[in-house]
């Protein structure tokens, strides 16, 4: 249901989800409440006007989950941390090790589109643009 709605225009997708939520409300009120909670945010990527491949990659939490599981795998066996500084050093070292195993983001060729949208949004709010290091993301 969600995947089908995400393929639609944001307004049409929201309308379809609202209809589905009303149907779920009777039988599965908690599921309906969960969908209703973040419904507007689920269409953020669609509103940015990105390419389908980049939108598909950014619509999942895989990028975050893979990096966190890599850090966990490298630090999970440590049972005794001397102090907070040691924990931070190990986490940073594990993140750098994990980074070496990253693959390209699907649709990385279109990251310029995301950069342009972000710059446009930041200039509209008079904030300093965040530089996007495309070489590092694509590597």
pLDDT in tens, 95-139: 999 999 887 778 888 889 888 988 887 766 655 555 555 554 444
- 36 and 13 part of one domain: yes
CA distance 41 to 43: 5
Looking at the structure of the chain, the number of domains it has is 2
Q: Give the list of residues 6+ apart from residue 111 with CB closer than 8 angstroms, or none.
A: 54, 105, 132, 134, 137, 138
Residues 96 and 139 in one domain: yes
Domain boundary residue, one of 11, 27, 46: 46
Q: Are residues 29 and 83 in the same domain?
A: no
104 three-state secondary structure:
coil
For residues 74 and 133, state if they share a domain.
yes
Q: What is the pTM of this model?
A: 0.54
Same domain, 55 and 105: yes
Its domain, for residue 20, covers 1-46
Mean pLDDT of 5-29: 87
For residues 93 and 131, membership in a common domain is answered with yes
Same structural domain, 20 and 58: no
Same domain as 82, residue 119: yes
Domain boundary among 25, 46, 67: 46
Chain centroid, CA 123 distance in Å: 23
Question: CA-CA distance, 71 to 97, in Å (whole number)?
Answer: 8
Q: Please report the pLDDT score of residue 4 as a whole number.
A: 84
């Amino acid at each position: 249901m969600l995947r089908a709605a995400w393929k639609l225009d944001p307004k049409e997708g929201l309308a379809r989800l609202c209809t589905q939520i009303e149907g779920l409300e009777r039988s599965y009120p908690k599921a309906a409440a969960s969908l209703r909670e973040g419904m507007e945010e689920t269409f953020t990527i669609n509103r940015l006007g990105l390419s389908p491949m980049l939108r598909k990659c950014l619509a999942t939490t895989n990028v975050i989950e893979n990096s966190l599981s890599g850090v966990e795998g490298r630090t999970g066996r440590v049972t005794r941390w001397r102090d907070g500084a040691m924990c931070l050093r190990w986490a940073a070292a594990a993140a750098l090790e994990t980074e070496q195993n990253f693959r390209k983001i699907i649709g990385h060729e279109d990251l310029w589109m995301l950069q342009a949208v972000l710059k446009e949004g930041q200039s509209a709010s008079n904030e300093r643009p965040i530089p996007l290091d495309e070489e590092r993301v694509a590597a």
